[in-house]
A and B are shown apart, each in its own frame.
Chain A
């Protein structure tokens, strides 16, 4: 019996004692919360924000962003654009190096962009390359990848020809999908090339360790052209899918930066650690869409407007409670080269709006005896539920509508939104891929796959096409703004609020710059010297 007991204790202690990791107390390591696990570190197989944060530390495209969110040269030193806005010639840095010391050449970019459009690669994010000439044909399988209009004019010069002028093309080149991939390691390692030990990248850091479900650890790429300016030697991007858990880890001193701040703790954090809470406008909108293809919302602009006006956005922003901005337009403020159009009634008070809403509701043929009945669909989530409940009561109290709430798992809601069969009012959001109004407004074009409302307006489509054909940024902007006004007047959706970026940033960290894209390259950060 005694022996057995001792054996038991021994097994327990042995299990508890073995193994161990790196101590976290080492201050030269930056610990960042990064949300969900990145799906891949192959730039052509990933599209998530989380993967983007890690990939921007590991690699760089022809251009990148400064801490303030301005486009700056990165792998390219300079470039020129032809007068018609179709042809770009980039000059690469002579000192650009891969993490194994190989020079970064124009041929690397040609190889990478061809790999991106090659149907066999099965890339999921192709928006950035889509306007390069022949890209669409290649991705559809109608042309060979080497037909892509990207050409190396010697080791340092790269020519890219577009199928039409795209004024924001330069900003697309900053997306991770447009980073170069290292041909040699892909040819040797195949699908395993994006793992530690195999992955060769051209950014400020290189991949050191990847513990799936735990963290991704990267360290200084000593071959990087701007290596002298990199202050922090080592960075860990932690998987932190639960914001509350992430915040606890931050409060326990295990993280320097969080990916977000949970709504239930926001005001507490703002009160207790005002200097560590960082909030800045984001390029994202939370909205309710109408299914424009089915009754009661098809051909019923008055009902749609009545519902939109009866939503007290200020109250909802208070419910969400994280510094969000009430939305009276679809394109967020702060979008480059754009002045969002807003509703004419954005300036009147909520009681006045409610009054007009009731009038419109009656004009649409509804009354207390004949109430509008419909469902709000949203994906299962606390915040979404709170908002849906609030809007339900606003619509019931102001208009007398009978509203049912339906919550669904995200994938189910998405499938329903795409099918447009059972949806009536649905919750959705859109986050800009690049800093341009086009990323928002294009989702309302008749044929756009992300057009969940089924909004179809020839005038809108034509304005969008005219804007697309414009090389003059000023005139293009006017078309886009007019398109948004046209769309807002028809109320295919209810803009509710604009997202904000929220991060906890340790006072030990220096160099943090707020920007709409919420990009914070580790290479721009440093530790306060007195720590």
Chain B
């Protein structure tokens, strides 16, 4: 197991290097630069700025310089947020994103699995239709519609909750962002759980258990739930990565100082180092979570451990 984990970690290094190289080429290939504005800089000023940020060097040299920094753990200065380094920006924004993401994921798992199980047990009944219908809506109605609507109803009209992250303190300000983040995840998880539950429920050993007189609750609890949730694992890895690193829309609508906004703003502003830093960070998280999921499979499913 340890050997397997080590091999996987070693295998991740070339992947990350490749991600860095491709991302580096792509941000530099995009037209315009971090200091381009409508108020065009006079040529000598542009030269000074480019020199200060090493943008005047040939691209390969810039790449080597950047890679050297990354290896030392230095993601460079942000071009747009000039008083901060990329590492500082990520470190400051991460706790907020992580907290929201973790809450949303826990909520999504709890509600999603419960809804999925219920729907599967009451297959083709009104309850099932309700759950699958809700899941359909959750998946297809985008967050940028749901979130502002929530603000309008619960903050502006009813005045129950703060309209933004900075508009309140404590738990209240978390409610709407967490729900907004969790909604599509709940829907996905419910659908996945339902499908795999139905699949497991029709398997031979469940029929045997039933034949031996076990009640539905016991069957689900001891025999079905674990194998039924297993297919969720491969979905949860990337989903956690996505939710943890923040949702741009949720962050914008609720004014949350998280990581997600930096990604979009960084790309639009051609903030090369910021975009690269977050890409690397994201890549590392995705790889780590995939590894964690693979290892968790081993724990959850003895058949995989045996291989």
Contact = CB atoms under 8 A, between A and B. Distances in A.
Interface string B255-293: 111100110010010100000000000000000000000
B155 A248 contact: yes
Could you say which of B82, B168, B258, B270 has the most chain A C-beta atoms within 10 Å of its C-beta? Answer: B82
Could you say which of A1, A119, A248, A254 has the most chain B C-beta atoms within 10 Å of its C-beta? Answer: A248
Contact of B167 (A241, A254, A429, A449): A254
A227 B120 CA distance: 69
A24 B44 contact: no
B22 interface: no
A179 B72 CA distance: 37
Contacts of B39: 47, 433, 450
Interface in B70-126: 77, 80-84, 89, 92-93, 99, 102-103, 106-107, 110
A195 interface: yes
A192 B171 CA distance: 33
Interface residues of A, number: 70
Interface string A249-261: 1011110000000
Interface in B196-242: 221
A343 interface: no
B60 interface: no
A230 interface: no
B159 A252 contact: yes
A39 B81 contact: yes
A154 to B, nearest CB: 32
Interface stretch (B27-35, B128-136, B186-194, B297-305): B27-35
A270 B261 CA distance: 31
Contacts of B99: 15, 18-19
Interface string A128-151: 000000001001110000000000
Contacts of B31: 411-412, 415-416
B40 A418 contact: yes
B36 interface: yes
Interface string B40-58: 1111110011011100000
Main secondary structure of the interface of A (DSSP, over half): loop
A433 B49 CA distance: 21
B82 A430 contact: no
Contact of B38 (A11, A39, A253, A414): A414
A24 B168 contact: yes
Given A45-B82, A191-B83, A414 B45 contact: no
A37 B27 CA distance: 21
B252 interface: yes
Interface in A404-426: 409-412, 414-416, 418
Contacts of B257: 211-214, 239
Contacts, number: 178
A506 interface: no
B51 A119 contact: yes
A124 B45 CA distance: 7
B38 A213 contact: no
Contact of B32 (A41, A214, A239, A411): A411
Contacts of B169: 20-24
A46 interface: yes
B169 to A, nearest CB: 4
A248 B151 contact: yes
B240 to A, nearest CB: 14
A226 B38 CA distance: 36
Interface residues of B, number: 66
A8 B45 contact: no
Contacts of B37: 47, 414
B18 to A, nearest CB: 26
Interface in A1-38: 1, 8, 11-12, 15-24, 37
B152 interface: yes
A240 interface: yes
A212 B93 contact: yes
Nearest to B168: A24
A42 interface: yes
Interface in A161-175: none
Contacts of A460: none
A428 interface: yes
B81 A37 contact: yes
B283 to A, nearest CB: 22
B81 A251 contact: no
A212 B84 contact: yes
Interface in A112-135: 119-124, 126
A123 B42 CA distance: 11
A122 B84 contact: no
A1 B225 CA distance: 12
Contacts of B40: 418, 449-450
A238 interface: yes
B41 A414 contact: no
B145 to A, nearest CB: 12
A450 B38 contact: yes
A217 to B, nearest CB: 10
Interface in A48-68: none
Contact of A449 (B43, B92, B171): B43
26 contacts: A1-B221, A11-B102, A12-B106, A23-B169, A24-B162, A40-B82, A45-B82, A136-B44, A192-B83, A195-B83, A212-B92, A213-B257, A214-B255, A236-B166, A252-B156, A252-B163, A254-B162, A254-B164, A411-B30, A411-B31, A414-B38, A415-B31, A415-B32, A416-B31, A430-B38, A450-B40
Interface of B: 30-33, 35-45, 48-49, 51-53, 77, 80-84, 89, 92-93, 99, 102-103, 106-107, 110, 148, 151-152, 155-156, 159, 162-171, 174, 178, 221, 251-253, 255-258, 261-262, 265, 268, 270
Interface of A: 1, 8, 11-12, 15-24, 37, 39-42, 45-47, 119-124, 126, 136, 139-141, 191-192, 194-195, 211-215, 236, 238-242, 244-245, 248-249, 251-254, 409-412, 414-416, 418, 428-430, 433, 449-450
Given A16-B178, A136-B44, 5 more contacts: A17-B171, A249-B163, A252-B167, A414-B37, A429-B38
Q: Which 3 A-B pairs have the closest CB atoms?
A: A411-B32, A213-B257, A122-B52
